[in-house]
Amino acid sequence: MRAKVLIAGIPEEVENYIFALENAGLQPVVSTTMPTSDGLVIDDFAALLLPGGGDIDPSFFGQENHGSRTIEKELDIAQLNLAGLFIQAGKPILGICKGCQVINVSLQGTIIQDLENNVHHQAYLGNAVKHKAVTLKDNVYYDLFGGDEIVINSSHHQAIDRLGTGLSVCQYSDDHVIEAIQHESLPILGVQWHPERMAYSKHIAGEADGTLIFEYFKKLAESALCSNSGK
């Protein structure tokens, strides 16, 4: 039985994530509420994926708007609520781009609302840019990618500022923006880049293989599924 993963997003906006999860051997379900009128409950899911998107309303991390844009407050509320439920349940979470920031805010962290060097990171005319990143030692990303510089894609103008409780930095960009985090005791991962766009396709030497992240997330989800079935 495939482990079921909740994608906290809008169906027509998360097709890349659905593709990546399916190719990893997982069963994605897209919803922004829990529980819902269609009967979804947290026990139905092994893990949560928080996808990319617009900017989080800065009121959720105690700030006025100083450069945030494309805010969808109702979606923020839904994603933060779901993140809180899965954190409380101790279930695996993978946050990508905005999703990484949602994890951080859920754990009382803050966001840089507009990077000083944002042209190095944000998409131009819909096309993601690429830059180098360095992975620190003693974390899951080092196990996956090693310590050499890798090239990652980038499509954001915001980033994590103050880390949320229990989170640690695992990867930095070449201009020292946080690119990956993990929780010190819970199965929670977040990346500022987009592994779903670099997964399950021809791998280019020197670039991060996003497939590795989804394969690892599958292991976490399957482990959680086994734990839940054993209750």
pLDDT tens digits for range 176-187? 999 999 999 999
Catalytic-residue membership of 226: no
30's CB contacts (< 8 A; 6+ apart) are: 6, 7, 9, 10, 11, 14, 18
Sign of the Cα pseudo-torsion (75, 18, 154, 139, in order): positive
Residue 36 has pLDDT above 70, yes or no: no
Residue 150 scores a pLDDT above 70: yes
| pLDDT above 80 (res 22) | yes
User: What pLDDT is attached to residue 227?
Assistant: 74
pLDDT of res. 1: 83
Among residues 97, 100, 157, 179, the one annotated as catalytic is 97
Active site residue 97: yes
Decide: 205 and 150 in contact? Cβ < 8 Å.
Answer: no
Please give the distance of CA 157 from its chain centroid, rounded to a whole number: 16
Q: Which residue has the higher pLDDT, 22 or 205?
A: 22
Q: How far apart are CA 20 and CA 22, in angstroms?
A: 6
Question: If you average pLDDT over every residue of the chain, what do you get?
Answer: 92
* Catalytic position from the list 100, 179, 183, 196: 196
The yes-or-no answer on residue 196 being catalytic is yes
Which residue of the set 157, 183, 194, 222 is catalytic? 194
Provide Rg for the chain, Cα atoms.
16
pTM check: above 0.85: yes
* pLDDT over threshold 60, residue 231: no
**pLDDT exceeds cutoff 90 at 47:** yes
Residue 33 has pLDDT above 90, yes or no: no
User: Is 225 or 50 the better-scoring residue by pLDDT?
Assistant: 50
Residue 176: CA count within 13 A, CB half-sphere: 2
Per-residue pLDDT reduced to its tens digit, 51-87: 999 999 999 999 999 999 999 999 999 999 999 999 9
Q: Give tens-digit pLDDT for 115-138.
A: 998 888 887 655 678 999 999 999
